[in-house]
Amino acid sequence: MINPGVHWLQRPETIRKLWRWGIGVLAVTAMLDLFLTPHPYFMVDGTFGFYAWYGLLTCIAMIIVAKVLGIFLKQGDDYYDD
Amino acid sequence: MMIDVLPPGVVLILGALLVPITSGVARTIIIMGLPLFVLVLIWQVPDGAAITAPFLDYQLTIVRGEAVGRVFATVFAIMSLAGGIFALRQARVLEIAAAFLYAGSAIGVAMAGDLITVFVFWETMAIGSTLIIWAAGTEAAYKASMRYAIMHLFGGVVLMIGVIGYVMTTGSVDFVHMAPNGFATWMILIGFLINAGAPPFSAWLPDAYPEASPSGAVFLSAFTTKTAVYVLIQGFAGTEFLIYVGLYMACYGIIYALLENDMRRILAYSIINQVGFMVTGIGIGTEMALNGAVAHAFTHIIYKALLLMSAGSVLYMTGKRKCTDLGGLYQSMPLTCITGIIGALAISSFPLTSGFISKSMVSQAAADENLMFAWFMLMAASAGVFLHAGIKFPWFVFFQKDSGLRPADPPANMRFSLILFAFLCIALGVYPAPLYAILPFEVDYVPYTVEHVVKTLQLLLFSGLAFFVMLPAMKRTLTITLDVDWFYRKLGTKLAIRLVNNCSQARNVVENIARQRLDVLLMKVSRNYGPGGFMARSPTASGMMVWVLVLLAVYLVVYFL
């Protein structure tokens, strides 16, 4: 069922496909650690898939910090207009 | 007095004067030819002092050939070429002339051998950049430019105090490595850091740059913060304090960029984030770290300009700058979208882009020096760059929802500079050897190892996952986020208004008391002197005769006594 009015990138089936492929690529990149001998600088960065979970967790943490900060610091964008 | 070469910075500044008095083809030739000519001049400068001049009791080194300065001057010249082409047909003449003045003085700083010359070019940069913001011609830009100018003139004063103190204590004006160990050197360091966008003086950057014209912001992104990086490398490499300043800047930039809705403010915050990486490298201060800082400044200027050109093209074609108004532009602006994505990948240091071969040197240096905290922070910040600039910018501008806008790609000259800088981002990423060859220290670093590529991909792709998993939390709102400028834009104004109100109230009280007293006085006066008052009564002739008699009698009595 192809809706010609919608750009192919916006069709739900494309988006589903992108998600599936994206997750596949993520899994493969994480699995590549199986073939690498870790050369950690500080112990913990030698754990399996360190860069993957560290990237994911720190990014989620940063978004949450930003959200929390936003509660206090967000203002309407006409705030400074007099 | 010694003049061995033409001073590259001064040539560009003088060239700026030609821009308003020429037109048509002649102006195009100047705008495109002059930066190239200056680039040649930069590489004509031999090592050591090339132009010196006596000033008061000191010997100024107006042009000095030296490795770090040469790299910065080179990228400044490349930047003024690409920026000039981008601005060629659309920007006001004032803006292009101001940009050359600005770029010329930045090159002047990068090649100056003494603190007085640094200071003079430093202040000229402040003037040039303020003029660029003015050229946008809007009320908001004018107000932002005033705040910007005040901040930079304040920074200039701090720097001047430091320079005077330094010259008085050491007796030398030479710009050499120093350590922040006294009042004067601290003042110099603070003066430099204000221009770098370091806390607490960072808000000037995201406040002012996004108010400039589409091309103005491209110029602004390149010079001020990177000359600050340059002078920090020359003056304060290895100052541990800078590691923490840099790490703070890297995180601050991410958090604020995540909250921001204006596409060019996102990119402005990300400048601070990127300069944070460089400042951290300067603080670490090893050869690897300094090479990393210099290389990162070089690649950063190019990809950040590319990102702002992409955003500038969107702004120029749509007149809109807020993520909430944009989206879906990939359909009608494919070139702007693709070059923007290349810039976004480069800033995220994706393999095969310029960021990959420069930024990793800083984190490598942190690991080599066993700086665990710094290393983990740098890794988190690297992931965060992909989050806030690498995905957020292209996603909300070019994809996201369909805004219904169908603007075409920008005019030819703008497209040309987009392609030029996108090409450079990839070329430097694929073939970093020419950049490594001009770095100040020999490069003992191989970016493309299987391990490094895999680790980087893991870090970045999973940051990307975090973005899309958290997408509902990233939903754009019509908001701004308060920054340090709140203190002088809101609190300061409020306090000033309150002060004025209190003063006028106090004046009213004093005035009322004074008025009451005066009324009493006037009443007394008018009682005695007013119509019908004692002193104003017209006396009768007989009464006066009595008084004359009394006076005569008194006189007689006194006379006989």
Is position B312 within any domain?
yes
Residue B172 has pLDDT above 60, yes or no: yes
Do B241 and B311 fall within a single domain? yes
pLDDT given at position B277: 96
SS3 at position A43: coil
pLDDT tens digits, B325-378: 999 899 899 999 999 999 999 999 999 999 999 999 999 999 999 999 999 999
- The CA-CA-CA angle for residues B103, B71, B78, to 5°, reads 45
SS3 at position B64: strand
Is position B67 within any domain?
no
Residue A75 has pLDDT above 80, yes or no: yes
Domain span at residue B438? 237-483
Do B327 and B423 fall within a single domain? yes
Residue A2 has pLDDT above 60, yes or no: no
Residue A6 has pLDDT above 80, yes or no: no
Tell me which residue of B192, B193, B362 sits closest to B291, measured CA to CA: B362
Q: Do A51 and B477 touch (CB under 8 A)?
A: no
Residue A1 has pLDDT above 50, yes or no: no
Q: Do B462 and A51 touch (CB under 8 A)?
A: yes
Name the domain boundary from B483, B503, B521: B483
pLDDT tens digits, B432-448: 999 999 999 999 899 99
SS3 at position B57: coil
pLDDT tens digits, B102-148: 999 999 999 999 999 999 999 999 999 999 999 999 999 999 999 99
Residue B4 has pLDDT above 90, yes or no: no
pLDDT given at position A4: 56
Query: Which candidate from A42, A63, A80 shows the least CB-CB separation from B466?
Result: A63
Domain count, chain B: 2
C-beta separation of B307 from B339 below 8 A: no
pLDDT tens digits, B198-223: 989 999 999 999 999 999 999 999 99
Query: Which candidate from A49, A74, A77 shows the least CB-CB separation from B458?
Result: A49
Residue B73: its H or E element: helix B67-87
Do B446 and B318 fall within a single domain? yes
**What is chain B's mean pLDDT, rounded?**
93
Chain B residues closer than 8 Å to A32 by CB: 454, 458
Residue B100 has pLDDT above 50, yes or no: yes
- Alpha-carbon torsion angle B467, B472, B476, B481, nearest 10: -80
In terms of DSSP bridges, do strands A74-76 and B2-3 run parallel, antiparallel, or are they unpaired? Answer: unpaired
Proportion of chain B above pLDDT 70, given as a percent:
100
Do B503 and B460 fall within a single domain? no
Do B246 and B308 fall within a single domain? yes
Is position B293 within any domain?
yes
Is position B386 within any domain?
yes
Return phi, psi of residue B335, to 5°: -65, -45
Residue A77 has pLDDT above 60, yes or no: yes
ipTM for this prediction: 0.91
Residue B8 has pLDDT above 60, yes or no: yes
Chain A residues closer than 8 Å to B467 by CB: 59
Q: Do B454 and A32 touch (CB under 8 A)?
A: yes
Residue of A nearest to B139 (CA): A81
Q: What is the pLDDT averaged over residues B285-311?
A: 96
pLDDT bin (cut points 50, 70, 90) of residue B526 is: confident
DSSP H helical ranges for B111-182: 115-134, 139-170
Helices (H) and strands (E) in chain B, counts: 22, 4
Chain B residues closer than 8 Å to A33 by CB: 454, 458
Mutant choice from B341, B348, B379, B461 vs A, greatest count of A C-beta within 10 A: B461
Q: What is the DSSP string of B527-557?
A: HHHSTTSGGGS---HHHHHHHHHHHHHHHHH
The span from the CA of B162 to the CA of B166, in Å, is 6
pLDDT tens digits, B447-481: 999 999 999 999 999 999 999 999 888 888 888 88
Tokens of A24: 């596949």
Tokens of B4: 């061995």
pLDDT given at position A82: 67
Is position B73 within any domain?
no
Q: What is the pLDDT averaged over residues B533-537?
A: 77
Tell me which residue of B51, B102, B50, B52 sits closest to B77, measured CA to CA: B102
Do B358 and B402 fall within a single domain? yes
Return phi, psi of residue B142, to 5°: -60, -45
